Amino acid sequence: MVAASETVTLVLGEDSPLPESAADVEDLVRRLRGHVAQLGARTASGTPVLLRAQRLCSDSVPEGYMPSRVYLVELAEATQELVSHVERGDPGSMRPERRRRSWKPRINMLRGAVFAVALACLVWAATVPRT
């Protein structure tokens, strides 16, 4: 959702200029479509917000400078609505958030690390000159 919000800010932010070239518009549209697909998996199908965003995603980018920029802004607004819908955690959400499990090293990895440190200390001790 953070990446989607950042892409929306690139389009709708007050300090963000309109894209210069058609390639920039295509790149932003491709990003926004990807975000809609990811957010759509976390939203119940048939939700009006999702249907609007999917309808805009299925449209092709219009030809011309102004029509393509207007389409880009509309797609960004629909994506922003979808992000806020998912953030609210509406009852229609399909998947609950998963908790991340912390990674625990295996015992043999710990044994190997201790052995490597002990061996390094032994080598270092052997190279120190005796007085």
Whether the CB-CB separation of 77 and 12 falls below 8 Å is answered with: yes
Token pair belonging to 6:
């950042």
* pTM greater than 0.75 (yes/no): no
* pLDDT over 50 (residue 93): no
% of the chain surpassing 70 pLDDT: 92
Neighbours of 79 (CB within 10 A): 27
Helix/strand/coil for 28:
helix
| pLDDT of 109 strictly over 90 | no
